[in-house]
Chain A
Amino acid sequence: MTFNGRIATSLVMLGLFVGACVLALGLPSKAAFMPLLIGIPGVILCTWQVILDLRRAPDAPADPGDEETEDGQTEAAAFLWLGLFSIALIGFGFIVGGPLIVAAFVRFSSGEGWRNAVFAGAGTLAVLYGVFIWLLELPLFPGLVLRALI
């Protein structure tokens, strides 16, 4: 898994540079100059890295991040929570989505009781409203769903 993940990361980097170079070819020459000046060496470097990764011994030591430790989440759970945070904050905004998702995380991911979860959610609401809206007078994103409803 580590071995494949390492190569996949190098391939993604290579893909980003190749994609940028291909897109740059469709631009006027002046606009394409810099992307190609960076992109071509980028492609060479990443190709080299892919070759190094492929030649790397299969029994190379695993990265620490590969292992699930103690009460830690699996990588899949970490990505799931990132997705949930994105949905909550982009969909329902900071004032509604923020406290809800923080409380949910503290309750279900950290395994704390409901009291601590509600306390964490209320604290988040207090900071977001108190510091950003009341003190700094910054308008916070209301969320796509709530904006459509209101």
Chain B
Amino acid sequence: MTGLDAMFGPLFHILTSPYLMGLILLAIPLGMFFGAVPGLGGKLAIVLMIPFVFGMEALAGAVFLLAMHAVVHTGGSVPSILFGVPGTGPDAATIVDGYPMAQRGEAGRALGASLGASGVGGVIGALFLAAMLPVLKPVVLAFSPAEFFLLALFGITFIAMLSGRSLIKGIAVGFLGLMVSLVGLDPHTGSQRFTFDQLWLWDGVSVVAAVLGIFAIPEMMALGVKGGSIAKAKGTAARYDFAQVLQGIGDVFRNPWLTVRTSIIGAVIGAIPGLGGDAASWLCYGHAVQTCKNPENFGKGDVRGVIAPETANNSKEGGSLLPTLFFGVPGSSGMAILIGAFVMLGIQPGPHIALTGMDLVWSLIWALALANLLSIPIFLLMAPTFSLLVYVRGALLIPFVLVLAFLGAYLSESAWQNMLLLIGLGVLGYYLKKYGWPRPPFVIGLVLGLIAEDSIHKALAIWGPTFFLRPLSLVLIALIILTIVAYIWRQHKTRDKPAVHYDV
């Protein structure tokens, strides 16, 4: 009974709290907006909403941000299907069959299938997370400081490998994040480290200001330099009616096994740190082509080609919460930003959550499921409006986003000097973006830095320099080496093979 209370108590709390339900209902259209406007995406959504959740109760802020992030891909399918322009990277797989469907007059059916698949996928992803909790708890508790230091390195290596083309650049940026996390008073000696006698740096660098600087400022500068509308959409918006949308939702339930299979595959991929949404949606699309009857119809506007990637896109969010919450290692680059926001809200992801934060974990699981379910009626109401967002002019968006970024940096610690930090990191972030240095590892390094330092000092005190010879540590070292070898192998393979182009 206690277990059931722990599981369903948070759901009851959310459902009976008008405040939390109101936040979820507000988060859904916002998340869809950021997904539907090509070039914005979930990461920028979280970054820009940070000022608004500042000062909120931790649970409320976390539920709001997670609910918003959970439905980004639901909105992202709109421009993919109607214009052949992916709202976010992982939505690209939806174009292969969604856009041909729209071209032959079945845009509504494709949107309905995408909507139904996203909703069902998101709920299955949340259930996957719930099902994994009993398995995960003993694993998390078996970790010692030695493993946590290695886990931090593993997280950076993994994210670096998958978030950019260069492993060297990725790891270097991750290490820079680690270095920035060391700014402030050293916890062991009390001496000032990289503070340059500035009082505002004694408590360390504000994670929020750093995240805003490294993401929001470069995106807006790049948008200003690029000019024009955010997406270069061609043609006119496809017309569709409500009956078609309902038919598309029905298609999801007419292909139940495909829906369930791709949802589970998506959730598993999401749980592997760094594999990311692109991998989930394309792998599930490939799985559908391999396992469904009449595979020759794929690529020509087959509704199953919409269902497979869309279920994966939303179910992976549930899976990626596993490493994010319990190990502090983000399951995706979006989760890396979410960790930064969680830290600002006073939630420190890590193994202690398995002991003291299960109430929060269950609340987040239910928020994820509710957001995906509620996104269906909200999407039905707002889909025609979303299709116009693709024409939003970047130039009109820039000033508001910049003001919000400055505001977030200031509010994070009520220190105006954080705005200087924002500018400095923004300029650095712009050039990192421009020259292909992946930025998500920076956030991971920044968040994991203090945990890594604390862990290595403890590990050295307990086991001495041979701490890495513990069995679990050796497993993690092997994983780090395997990650690097896999990266080199993949690079070698990509060089030999011609790029695959999808003619849509």
Contact = CB atoms under 8 A, between A and B. Distances in A.
Interface of A: 5-6, 8-10, 12-13, 16-17, 20, 23-24, 27-28, 30-31, 33-35, 37-39, 41-42, 45-46, 48-49, 52, 63-66, 68-75, 77-79, 81-82, 85-86, 89-90, 94, 98, 101-102, 105-106, 109-112, 120, 124, 128, 131-132, 136, 138-141, 144
A139 B410 CA distance: 10
21 contacts: A5-B434, A6-B435, A9-B437, A16-B179, A28-B189, A33-B457, A34-B452, A35-B182, A35-B193, A41-B171, A52-B168, A65-B222, A69-B226, A70-B227, A71-B228, A82-B402, A89-B406, A110-B393, A124-B400, A132-B51, A138-B411
B434 A63 contact: yes
Given A39-B175, A131-B52, 6 more contacts: A30-B186, A35-B182, A46-B172, A72-B228, A81-B398, A144-B416
Contacts of B217: 82
A69 B227 contact: yes
B433 interface: yes
Which 4 pairs show the lowest CB-CB distances between chains A and B?
A72-B227, A31-B186, A110-B395, A70-B228
Interface stretch (B101-109, B233-241, B298-306, B424-432): B424-432
Contacts of A77: 224
Contacts of A101: 399, 403
A34 B225 contact: no
Contact of B416 (A131, A136, A141): A141
A85 to B, nearest CB: 5
Nearest to B217: A82
B54 to A, nearest CB: 7
Contacts of B179: 16-17, 20, 35, 38-39, 42
Contacts of A39: 175, 179
A44 B78 CA distance: 45
Interface of B: 51-52, 54-55, 166, 168-169, 171-173, 175-176, 178-179, 182, 186, 188-189, 191, 193-194, 217, 221-222, 224-228, 393, 395-396, 398-400, 402-403, 406-407, 410-411, 414, 416, 419-420, 423, 426-428, 431-437, 452-453, 456-457
A89 B176 contact: no
Contacts of B435: 5-6, 9-10, 63
A27 B423 contact: no
B279 to A, nearest CB: 23
Contacts of B432: 9
A109 B186 contact: no
B225 A30 contact: no
B407 A48 contact: no
A42 B227 contact: no
Contacts of A30: 186, 188-189, 457
B399 A78 contact: no
B54 A138 contact: yes
A75 B225 contact: yes
A49 B217 CA distance: 25
Given A31-B191, A106-B396, A110-B396, A5 B171 contact: no
Contact of A78 (B171, B178, B221, B406): B221
Given A9-B435, A110-B393, A105 B193 contact: no
B462 to A, nearest CB: 16
Nearest to B51: A132
A65 B456 contact: no
